[in-house]
Structure 1
Amino acid sequence: MSLCVIAECVALPGQHDRLRTALEAMIELSLDEPGCLAYQPYIDPNDPARMVIVEEWTGPQALAEHFTTPHFRHVEQVLGQILAQPLDIRKLIAAPAT
């Protein structure tokens, strides 16, 4: 069972380029982690200050380990300086087939 994560970010005014750069820097590093199946940031075409990251992990343990990596800790510090509101993280699992 994989775990899908949707994380929404809203940058402070004038910080959307910094947000995009920070999230793009996470792509390759995250995909290299064991347990990361997908990691892709998306920009809202109507509001460049709003971005969503869609991730897929092999399970909760892989995601928990992601949160301890140096690159995640770094981006967490950057986001703390540039987000207009706290990061909104949603965790989803596939619904069983009926």
Structure 2
Amino acid sequence: MIIVHGCAVVPEAKLEEALRLSREHVARSRAEPGCLEHGVYLDPDVAGRLLFVEKWASEAALKQHFAVPESIAFVEAISAIASESPSLSMFSASEL
């Protein structure tokens, strides 16, 4: 299983737009083959900080997700309104 943790910080004036884009992206991603979990959450301690948590069945499924045109467009759109460069970390994991 692959776990992805992403983060984007957006200005308060762009938060509603970022949430709309993020929720659309999450809904699309959840329907993709190999997506086990995908969500976006607001950090209660940092204004405008969106946290993304994803679980994918395999590295191949995640690579396919990254290649979807809508995923590419989402990254471009969220990066354009973010106040700092978004971050993304990926981990290989197994359930205990």
TM over 0.5: yes
Could you report, residue by residue, the CA deviation over 1:27-65 in whole angstroms, capped at 9, with x for unpaired residues?
A: 221011111110010001233410101000012111111
Count of residues paired in the alignment = 96
* Larger helix proportion of the pair: 2
Point out where structure 1 has 5 or more consecutive residues left out of the alignment. none
- Secondary structure at the counterpart of residue 84 of structure 1: coil
Q: Does 1:6 align with 2:5?
A: yes
Verify the 8 A CA contact 1:16 1:48 in the aligned structure 2: no
4+ residue segments displaced more than 3 Å? none
Q: Trace 1:1-98 onto structure 2 (pairs within 5 A).
A: 2-94=1-93
Q: Could you tell me how far apart the structure 2 residues matched to 1:59 and 1:48 are?
A: 33
Relative to structure 2, which stretch is displaced further, 76-85 or 52-61?
A: 76-85
Structure 1 residue identity aligned to 2:16: D
Identity of aligned residues (%): 23
